[in-house]
Amino acid sequence: MKRNFIVVPIIALLIFSLQTKVNAQATPNSECNSSLWNHVYSPIRFSVFDSCFIVTGTVKSAWTETDGDMHIRLTVDPQFDTMINSYNKSGEAGCLVLEPICDTTPTYSPAITPCSGFVNTVYIPAAGEYVYVQGSYVNDGVHGWNEIHPVTKIWIVTAVANVSAPPTHVDVFPNPATDEVTFKTSEQPASTIFVTIMNTLGRACGRYQFYAMSELKVNTSLMPDGVYYYHIVQNDKEVQTGAFVVKNR
């Protein structure tokens, strides 16, 4: 599926006509970084549709996986609807998955060696931001959904925020958690909510964010039993802290 020659001029005109902020580390004509594949664990699990593809859309949510990769859900623009398959619809809320690799130190053993010594430089967008993404367009043979993996570059085009809105209260349950813990609001947040989970040593176990939905579910099945602390930030202010217990079955 080679659509780059159509998409690039349209998006470039849009970016310059709106005079928006673009990541200074990249230009719309830059090539994909093929060396990133050296840091993808088990690359054989992917079928590559296009080695360097460009897509635009709005970030719905994001979180860090145990393999160290950032897992970002992107609501794609209508011209990219054919990238969304049935697994994206059933497993990823109808979103395309973006995977900037090795964003944090992995705890999943197969990913430790590929990420060793590698530092991710891809900008991690916030939920609600409208972005321009470049990377390899692939199908994940394990989960079935389509992704941009690995991501070479992400540019911000516009951001969504409401800094004047009051903080959103977040309910956290169940406690203790077994398979997952849920962060839920009574209504869709007025601005992006950032959640950081740390262990008793103060080490971050995951970074998450959500905006265009009222709840975030975090998989705890691979976390060791124990107490975990969460910090919730909205509009650059810490608005809520707390703790929950993980007790695996």
User: Is there a single domain that holds both residue 136 and residue 67?
Assistant: yes
**What is the average per-residue pLDDT within 75-95?**
95
Task: Identify whether 46 is part of a domain.
Answer: yes
User: Is there a single domain that holds both residue 104 and residue 177?
Assistant: no
Q: Residue 28 is part of a domain; what is its CATH number?
A: 2.40.50.140
Task: Identify whether 82 is part of a domain.
Answer: yes
Which residues span the domain enclosing 219? 171-246
User: Is there a single domain that holds both residue 23 and residue 116?
Assistant: yes
Q: Which of 133, 158, 183 is the last residue of a domain?
A: 158
**What is the average per-residue pLDDT within 197-213?**
82
At 119-149, the pLDDT tens digits run 888 988 888 888 899 999 999 999 999 999 9
Q: pTM of whole model > 0.85?
A: no
Q: Residue 219 is part of a domain; what is its CATH number?
A: 2.60.40.3080
The CA–CA distances, whole Å, from 144 to 75, 139, 238 equal 18, 6, 37
The CA–CA distances, whole Å, from 222 to 139, 144, 218 equal 24, 22, 11
Please report, to the nearest 10 degrees, the dihedral formed by the alpha carbons of residues 170, 176, 178, 182 taken in order: -10
User: Is there a single domain that holds both residue 80 and residue 143?
Assistant: yes
Strand partners, 183: 172, 216
Task: Identify whether 164 is part of a domain.
Answer: no
Q: Which of 111, 136, 158 is the last residue of a domain?
A: 158
Lowest mean pLDDT among 30-34, 143-147, 223-227: 30-34
Task: Identify whether 165 is part of a domain.
Answer: no
